Amino acid sequence: MNESPVIQTRGLTRYFGAKAAVHDLNLEMPRGCVYAFLGRNGSGKTTTIRLLLGLLEPTRGEGTILGHDIRHLPPEARARIGYLTEEHQLYGWMTVRQCGEFQSKFYPRWNEKIFRGVTGHFNLKPATVVKNLSRGERAGLCLALTLAPEPELLVLDDPALGLDPVAHRSLMESMIYLTRRSDRTIFFSSHQLADVERVADYLAILDRSVLRVSCSLETFRSSVRQVRLQFPGTPPPLPAIPGLLQVFRTESELRLTCVHYNGATEQTLRALSPAQLDLEPLSLEDAFISYLGERGEKSFILSETEAQP
């Protein structure tokens, strides 16, 4: 198997006006993995995807996808990349069958069986006009159009956006069962942590246009830790702790979320003389929210809250 990264970027940056939507992105995505691309709204996920596919010109930096410069992707490379757009836009006047016929004429490896299989899974009638499809059905049709050319690399931009739970589940099932192949790489952005947990090998997190995380799910989970410190009286002020994400302060308790918790961190915390120090497990969703939530300290001291008018 070719060991070169499927996607590789160096200093990839894109400005919109004076604002950097993607800032100095250095990414390497190995072949055959499922890579989840996470971040809050406006963090630059879609811009990154559009840059990678040559749909936007980078302000600076460079990148390759399947070994080709992202600025000049040849048709052969595009034939190997399936792209599911964020809002599942299609030609409203086409029928489901016409969509398939239109798309099939561009792809030499078009697999009609897959197209029919996915559209069948979503109960799409061939004669239905696209503009009459529900959002979930349109997502299904988009997925069928993306999968039928049997691409090597699937780029899915928030595939479940705006879908109801049933449609969402249906889409994810299709993704899981139809896309997972050892020679296929999947790069998808999402806000659905449960989906990420189910299908992704690796995740990357964009925080305000900057890539802060790129690791396996397990590494992420183990790197983001929550510590509860109980004190007999009012907790003392915290010293500077590297990797500290959030602090919740109550009358007798401090709850810390931090990254890269290690012996040195523990030593610093024990120096505060807590009555009790507990490491608490975090789900992926908790870890993600903690990671991307507001940084700094928050107080939940009842007397202070009551004292406020």
Partner 1 sequence: MKALIQKELRENLKLAVLGLIVISAILAIEIHSYSLGMKSLAAGRSEYVNWSALQPLVSPELLMLVAYFCAIFGALLGWFQIHNERHRDLWAFLVHRPATRTQIFLGKLVGGLVLYVLVTGMPLAGLVLWAVVPGHVAAPFEWQMLSPIALFLLSGVIYYLAGMLTGLRQARWYGSRALGLGLAVLVSVEIMDVPYAWQALGVVLIGGSILALAIWGGFHSNGFYRGQPAPGKPALVAALTPGCAFLVFLAFAFVFLGLLHLRDESTDRHFQVTRDGAIYKVIRQPGQPAEIADLEGKPALDPNTGRPAKLEDFNKRACNWISVNPRFDNHRYRYRWYGAARNELFNYYGTTPDTLWYNWNRYGRLVGYDVKTRQVIGSLGPEGFASDLSGNGSRLRIESGRAQVIVDGRILCTPDLEHRDLKELFTVTNEDCAAASLATNPAECVIGAVAPVSMYGSYMASPGSYIEHLNLIVGSGRENDILVVTRCFIRLIAADGTVVWTVPYQPAYPDYNQVRVTRLEATNQFALWLEPSWLIQEKTGGKLASHVIQIDGQGQVLKNIELPDLSYHPRTYSAQDKIMCVSLPPVVTAIIPLFSEQPWLKNIPWVLVGCSLAAALVCLPFGWWLGCRYSLSLPARVGWSVFILFLGIPGLLALLCAEEWPAREICPACQNLRVVDREKCEHCGADFRPPEKTGAEIFEPLAAAK
The interface with partner 1 within residues 248-307 (CB under 8 A) comprises 258-260, 291, 295
Query: Judged by CB under 8 A, does residue 102 bind partner 1?
Result: yes
Query: Judged by CB under 8 A, does residue 107 bind partner 1?
Result: yes
Minimum Å distance from CB 11 to partner 1? 7
How many residues line the site for partner 1 (CB under 8 A)? 71
Residue type (1 letter), 14: R
CB nearer partner 1, residue 114 or residue 301:
114
Write out the binding residues for partner 1, residues 161-200 only, by CB under 8 A. 182
Query: Judged by CB under 8 A, does residue 231 bind partner 1?
Result: no
Among 223, 250, 252, 268, binds partner 1 (CB under 8 A): 223
Write out the binding residues for partner 1, residues 121-140 only, by CB under 8 A. none
Question: Stretches 69-77, 121-129, 130-138, 163-171: which one binds partner 1 (CB under 8 A)?
Answer: 69-77
Question: Stretches 37-45, 105-113, 114-122, 301-309: which one binds partner 1 (CB under 8 A)?
Answer: 105-113
Question: Stretches 80-88, 124-132, 166-174, 264-272: which one binds partner 1 (CB under 8 A)?
Answer: 80-88
Write out the binding residues for partner 1, residues 21-40 only, by CB under 8 A. 23-24, 28-33
CB nearer partner 1, residue 15 or residue 231:
15
Write out the binding residues for partner 1, residues 42-61 only, by CB under 8 A. 50, 53, 55-57, 59-61
